[in-house]
Structure 1
Amino acid sequence: MKYFSRILLSFCLVFIHVQMGFSQKKSSKKPLIVFVCGDHEYSGEETLPLLAKTLESQYGFRTKILTSFPDQNAEKDIPGLEILKEADLAVFFLRWRVLPADQVAHIQAYLNSGKPIMGFRTSTHSFNYPQGDPLESYNGFAERAFGAPPGWGGVAKHSHYGHNASTDARIISEKANHPILTGVDPTFHVRSWLYRVLPDYPKKGTEWLMMGKAVNPERPAVDQPIAWTWENEYHAKVFFTTMGHPEDFSVEGFQRLIVNAIHWELGLKVPEKWLGKLDINIPYRGMVKSKN
């Protein structure tokens, strides 16, 4: 009897070990999405964690949120960027950072990997190194990574049509069958004031998915591309949008666009069934001083 019990115990231990190994293997196959936030103005460190929570609970992804330390105004430190080496997708929402070389090296290593990359709004001007700084070339990060204008203003004359404006978004009819646009409302309205990127950007070779029309612009406005895909010079799949105002994240059409784009970037089938509007309701705070 004791002999039989020992055999049974051994069998159980082996079974548990195999099951644990299987579970760990299954878990490790879940794609890891790393969100890198630091934008002064648009509360990416609040909206993106709510998006990440839904991606984990409803779609089975793993996520990691990295934010500027100690707050959104801190331009010189985003701890934890080494996790990018494990990421299957990196999502950037940055504005005028001046990160140290060792942190930028993690971002460059991710670029070099050719893995997919996504960017929101102010990531067109992710970095703002002074003239002559060894990292000054990273002021043009958005052009290399996303096919977007290389920084604010400058030769590209990248600008917007006024903070009191907003944007009517519409799908480009010829692109309506693109997987990213599955189930996305043909038209919707967002609070983002329209970014000017034409005539030289997005870069040649980008595929425009959506156009934006400025509502109540403060100056004469021309319709602009507001969402596009691309293959960058690192051979990575790219999705970029100039939308990203916190109130945009409460708009169902925008929510589905982003969830679809994440699946597409990872080479996964875009969900045909929408699981319902996401609970993301972050008010716009604008620029605020640090508490410290």
Structure 2
Amino acid sequence: MKNQRRTFLQQAAGLLALAYPLSFAEVLASASPSAKAKKPYVVFVTGDHEYSGELTLPVIAAELEKNYGMRTKVLKAYPDYNGEKDIPGLEALKEADLAVFFLRWRQLPQDQLNYIDAYLKSGKPVMGFRTTTHAFNYPDGDERQHWNSFGEFAFGAPPGWGGKAQHTHYGHKSTTDVTIIPEAAKNPILTGVAPSFHAASWLYRVLPDYPAKGAVPLLMGKSVNPDKAAIDNPVAWTWKNQWGGKAFLTTLGHPEDFQIESFQRLVINAIHWELGLPVPKTWKGKLAIDVPYGHPNKS
């Protein structure tokens, strides 16, 4: 009986080998989702002239891979952060679960914009830092000029720099006192974020018309040593854009902000929230992010 059973199993194995010319381990792997596919995929898109996003965000990406079980890719402007017309690799957005933008005044070609457009229209989540409120800067008459309002239609931020929205800041010599908005204190994105902290970023003005209707402000900023009459303005909020995508934007993003533990937690928490994952219960520890600030005459 044992010999008959062994013979039957050998014959069955032979038939399987003919039908599936793969190893048994490969058959098992093909029958279940791979570990790679289970990991959320976060794509960072950088190119901001000024705030060294191409250096700060890779540290965040590495932390996500090391301690939070995610896959990441960081895209950078070519040939360097001042290159306004080329960000190679944007096709990665086709597979992304979250797109994170740190851009300033780009003029990308239409074929690259198409990847961003398709991503937005998929309803997947987006995250933005600081100058992403004015990510694009196409000249008058350019058929891509509506992309100058990227901050508005993707994040509920003012539609580009200056203009009727009065989107401006309070001087390069100013800094910002940041506090949690009381009504948002229990928001999971603010887990572990100090009730107040000081940021190097000069405060951006987004009020009175922004953030857009339906936004949930999380943090308020007060300008310290402003160069003009200043009002307090939200510096971080969530929103849902017209395609149903969850959006998180912060107008902070100076390299020194990334050294602040509360800001680091805010970013890691927001990434989890965007992906629909529980915010981490335990903090893995402060990140070493020591990146220089770039060009002082930029916005």
TM-score normalized by structure 1? 0.93
Corresponding position of 2:275 = 266
Residues 1:55 and 2:64 are matched in the alignment: yes
Query: Matched residue pairs, number?
Result: 286
Instruction: Select 1:33's aligned residue among 12, 20, 42.
Output: 42
Deviation at 1:285, TM superposition (A): 2.2
Does the 8 Å contact 1:34/1:65 carry over to 2?
yes
Per-residue CA deviations over 1:152-209 (Å, capped at 9, x if unaligned) read: 0011110000001111111111111111011111111110000011111111110000
248-257 or 21-30, which moves further after superposition? 21-30
Residues 1:108 and 2:123 are matched in the alignment: no
Q: What 5-or-longer segments of structure 2 have no aligned partner?
A: 1-5, 17-21
Deviation at 1:234, TM superposition (A): 0.9
Per-residue CA deviations over 1:240-291 (Å, capped at 9, x if unaligned) read: 0000011111100000000000000000000011111011111212269xxx
Deviation at 1:44, TM superposition (A): 0.4
What is the letter of the counterpart of residue 247 of structure 1? E
Residues 1:234 and 2:240 are matched in the alignment: no
Does the 8 Å contact 1:156/1:197 carry over to 2?
yes
What is the letter of the counterpart of residue 159 of structure 1? T
Closer/same/farther in 2, CA of residues 287 and 99 from structure 1, 3 Å limit: farther
Deviation at 1:16, TM superposition (A): 2.8
Aligned to 1:70, the other structure's residue is in SS state coil
Aligned to 1:91, the other structure's residue is in SS state strand
Aligned to 1:189, the other structure's residue is in SS state strand
Does the 8 Å contact 1:183/1:272 carry over to 2?
no
Residues 1:162 and 2:156 are matched in the alignment: no
Does the 8 Å contact 2:107/2:136 carry over to 1?
yes
What is the letter of the counterpart of residue 118 of structure 1? M
1:139-288 pair list within 5 angstroms: 139-286=148-295
Q: State the alpha-carbon separation in 2 of the partners of residues 121 and 179 from structure 1.
A: 21
Q: State the alpha-carbon separation in 2 of the partners of residues 144 and 22 from structure 1.
A: 41
Does the 8 Å contact 1:40/1:287 carry over to 2?
no
Q: Which has the larger radius of gyration?
A: 2
Aligned to 1:169, the other structure's residue is in SS state strand
What's the % identity of the aligned pairs?
Answer: 62
What is the letter of the counterpart of residue 136 of structure 1? Q
Deviation at 1:29, TM superposition (A): 1.2
Instruction: Select 2:145's aligned residue among 136, 161, 168.
Output: 136
RMSD in angstroms over aligned alpha carbons? 2.2
What is the letter of the counterpart of residue 278 of structure 2? K
Aligned to 2:26, the other structure's residue is in SS state helix
Closer/same/farther in 2, CA of residues 23 and 51 from structure 1, 3 Å limit: farther
